[in-house]
Structure 1
């Protein structure tokens, strides 16, 4: 069988197919592309063909209907990355309901809060989490479908491309998570954007350490590969650097997705060279520190794709490479999206000027703190403010300077933390670093650096002195950290983003206690 893709747009649907329904469309892609008998997922020692996955989807859809789930009902998915997740997600879409994945590693109180925000009619949960919810809860095993299911039970709902299909929670780095809705048509736009950059091939092996309850992971492991006939490795357990490198070798992974902090840990592993065998390595989720990018480029060159997107958009909207690689930039905006950078008054700035990044396009759902239908969606001509500080050069390349909310004010002057953090992270013996402004005695403000050191580093001796001397030699005085505090780990959310509000809380505690 050829590795080139069959152009799905040229395929003729059968008369009884409603290709506006995303679950139906994906099965149609597999049938017309000729990969129904290929492996869609590898989980442990099991291999699941596309045909088997879609057969399970139809049976699960019928079981959901028999439980009374109807169009526009919310179904909360509290499941690890697994074939059960994929099947349940697509079955919910098949009957016109709305799938809402939730982070299974959340505290019980957060799980119940997610249930309330989603206004879920049903929770499909892993057995270990079943008791954490208040509403009606079933396990995937309860949805296998009885033998007497009729075609009517599992028939797809006649939705439109604008009908809500799924919703994802934002990561909540700056406050309470919001629920962002996406439609049955959005996945085709994701494929037009980042899918055209990836050019996944039939049978190509993909693996994402970002879980499917996040927009990034959902696209990586479900929405993108199922449109192209790729094979995805699923690991229900949360990965660490050793297990991820083992998966890459054992399964012959060619496309890998991770976050900057995860790549940093992989690079510190003795078997980091395995990354060099990838066809593509994608990094997203937070700003990629320059020292980490430099080390990855040494292994991968143009095969490293630094991309950027949000839960509100659904997946990537910016990408650097592989056809055009400019180190440290985020590349260009991907069609069908557009961008601009504005000042505090909302006016576009000139090329090269720093401002707030805005995106327009067809898939943007700003998010709600309580579920409601119809959910709020931006029109293709409306602008969404991402919260990133950015500049765009005169040839259209985008450079991110971190989150607008992350800017620290020192002596009345704005400091972009990533500039300082990149410098510190490049020092031998430093694994990770984050800086934060501290109001000290006499209301004087200066920076403090929180540093995670490599094992064996002389943290309070030579390393602290080196950090001080390197920053003094390279930065304007107000950007130089006044002190360094060594910590075992930086506060991060489940997507790997630094929780700067927690850092600021550490500073406040220090000020109230010892300073």
Structure 2
């Protein structure tokens, strides 16, 4: 079932661990599973499911997000393994669990399709995080469609290494539920440093799959050394440039598949980013126009779900993605997207990370200007301005451009809008104080 600290964990032991944790669960319908160890998370999730409890999976654990969760589910309790008491009743994951008897016959529980497994919260990158309920049937049908499109149902036992948190919809589907449905093996450690991620990949047996994001892949590819081979690369959470996809395929000696989906829909489409800009919707899904917005329906979706993205259908199951509607900006009658502007900023040599941001309009009616943050040691603002003007229309050049030590990205590389507001307020206060 899993590789943890170099040791294999059998299905027999996993089911015994699930039974042990189930017996420890507190009263209450809702469980906040903050476990950072992917195996601990998996055990806690399964224990909650068998006990008929619903897990709550936010993308981050700030005081504000925990307060929102407590308001959403007042009877919630927390299962965690990092000792971080988040302010609600807390159950620490045990350091040791009993060994399963060697004679035990593992019986995999059968669960109803309608079982409410989890509320998964949106990232908050465009506003306040919103919860979405996922039933067992929703999750199983979605990940089996994903596994089929990725070729993971070929009878081989794949080992999955993830750089994304299990609490995020992408990590939840692709590193937890898909493992259960494909009889795969999960490497449970979630490393921070690129060298540690590569060491983990090298340690596990093939065939192996790396489930990652553009921000994590960019950091790994910055290593000036040969990278371990994998049999499949997955990327999601942000658009992947073709140059980055080609380099990743070359250095990992594997094809890279980009996944498209959302917290609302789960995974619904894929593309090979090094070869095409076109996405391929899963065979049982289709696009429809509803209330003036493109919606995806069929397959694992119980009803049509509107997308926040601009979609152009191309016939068959192919489509083009032109970014989120909320990303579109109109300045002096000219239009662009935050995604395109971010791409141009991050393409500047010496910019390690960067993001554009459109603040809320001021109450006094003044025109709102785009701003940007950049992590660019060794560069000054004027140099970045000069290089940006070579790539984008002058009306989209940010005022101001703020140089910072790091951006407040969460575990999947996204930046909540509230975090950008805070970053901007901190920068303004620093400017007002002066040197």
TM-score normalised according to structure 1 size = 0.70
Is it true that 1:316 corresponds to 2:267 in the alignment?
A: yes
Task: Describe the shift of the 1:227–1:424 C-alpha distance in structure 2 as closer, same or farther (beyond 3 A).
Answer: same
Aligned partner of 1:117 among 56, 72, 84: 72
Aligned partner of 2:83 among 125, 128, 133: 128
Q: Indicate if the aligned counterparts of 2:120 and 2:132 stay in contact, CA closer than 8 A.
A: yes
Is it true that 1:226 corresponds to 2:145 in the alignment?
A: no
CA distance in 2, matches of 1:203, 1:248: 15
Q: Indicate if the aligned counterparts of 1:291 and 1:426 stay in contact, CA closer than 8 A.
A: no
Q: What is the aligned partner in structure 1 of residue 277 from structure 2? A: 328
Map Cα deviations across residues 134-166 of structure 1 (whole Å, 9 max, x no partner). Answer: 33x32333996899xxx9xx9999863123122
CA distance in 2, matches of 1:57, 1:248: 27
Q: Indicate if the aligned counterparts of 2:123 and 2:416 stay in contact, CA closer than 8 A.
A: no
Is it true that 1:175 corresponds to 2:127 in the alignment?
A: yes
**Runs (5+) with no aligned partner, structure 1:** 1-39, 348-355, 365-379
Is it true that 1:99 corresponds to 2:55 in the alignment?
A: yes
3-state SS of the aligned residue for 2:197? helix
CA distance in 2, matches of 1:460, 1:389: 32
Task: Describe the shift of the 1:405–1:501 C-alpha distance in structure 2 as closer, same or farther (beyond 3 A).
Answer: farther
Q: What is the aligned partner in structure 2 of residue 490 from structure 1? A: 407
Q: Indicate if the aligned counterparts of 2:124 and 2:416 stay in contact, CA closer than 8 A.
A: no
Q: Indicate if the aligned counterparts of 1:167 and 1:182 stay in contact, CA closer than 8 A.
A: yes
Q: What is the aligned partner in structure 1 of residue 296 from structure 2? A: 359
CA distance in 2, matches of 1:112, 1:95: 25
Map Cα deviations across residues 469-514 of structure 1 (whole Å, 9 max, x no partner). Answer: x22xxx4454455774433333433421234565567668889978
3-state SS of the aligned residue for 2:94? helix
Map Cα deviations across residues 241-274 of structure 1 (whole Å, 9 max, x no partner). Answer: 2321221223256201111111122222223x41
Q: What is the aligned partner in structure 1 of residue 218 from structure 2? A: 264
Q: Which runs of 4+ in 1 moved over 6 A?
A: 154-158, 504-514
Q: What is the aligned partner in structure 1 of residue 310 from structure 2? A: 389
Q: Indicate if the aligned counterparts of 2:78 and 2:88 stay in contact, CA closer than 8 A.
A: no
Task: Describe the shift of the 1:399–1:299 C-alpha distance in structure 2 as closer, same or farther (beyond 3 A).
Answer: farther
3-state SS of the aligned residue for 1:88? helix
Q: What is the aligned partner in structure 1 of residue 373 from structure 2? A: 450
Q: Indicate if the aligned counterparts of 1:408 and 1:436 stay in contact, CA closer than 8 A.
A: no
Aligned counterparts, 1:287-326, within 5 A? 287-299=239-251, 303-313=255-265, 315-321=266-272, 326=275
The structure with the largest alpha-carbon Rg is 1
Task: Describe the shift of the 1:118–1:238 C-alpha distance in structure 2 as closer, same or farther (beyond 3 A).
Answer: farther
Aligned partner of 2:200 among 243, 247, 255: 247
Aligned length: 422
CA distance in 2, matches of 1:126, 1:505: 29
Is it true that 1:337 corresponds to 2:285 in the alignment?
A: yes
Map Cα deviations across residues 2-33 of structure 1 (whole Å, 9 max, x no partner). Answer: xxxxxxxxxxxxxxxxxxxxxxxxxxxxxxxx
3-state SS of the aligned residue for 1:393? strand
Map Cα deviations across residues 320-369 of structure 1 (whole Å, 9 max, x no partner). Answer: 149xx64334x111133322467xxx34xxxxxxxx542224555xxxxx
Map Cα deviations across residues 206-252 of structure 1 (whole Å, 9 max, x no partner). Answer: 111111111211222221012212111011x5523232122122325
Q: What is the aligned partner in structure 2 of residue 409 from structure 1? A: 330
Aligned partner of 1:89 among 45, 68, 86: 45
**Runs (5+) with no aligned partner, structure 2:** none
Q: Indicate if the aligned counterparts of 2:70 and 2:76 stay in contact, CA closer than 8 A.
A: no
CA distance in 1, matches of 2:200, 2:289: 40
TM-score normalised according to structure 2 size = 0.82
Q: Indicate if the aligned counterparts of 1:283 and 1:307 stay in contact, CA closer than 8 A.
A: yes
Q: Indicate if the aligned counterparts of 2:38 and 2:166 stay in contact, CA closer than 8 A.
A: no
3-state SS of the aligned residue for 2:352? strand
RMSD: 3.7
Q: Indicate if the aligned counterparts of 2:77 and 2:88 stay in contact, CA closer than 8 A.
A: no
Q: What is the aligned partner in structure 1 of residue 14 from structure 2? A: 53
3-state SS of the aligned residue for 1:287? coil
How far is the alpha carbon of 1:282 from its aligned partner?
0.7
Q: What is the aligned partner in structure 2 of residue 208 from structure 1? A: 162
Task: Describe the shift of the 1:85–1:410 C-alpha distance in structure 2 as closer, same or farther (beyond 3 A).
Answer: same
Map Cα deviations across residues 436-470 of structure 1 (whole Å, 9 max, x no partner). Answer: 45899x956664443333x5x444565543333x2
CA distance in 2, matches of 1:421, 1:68: 46
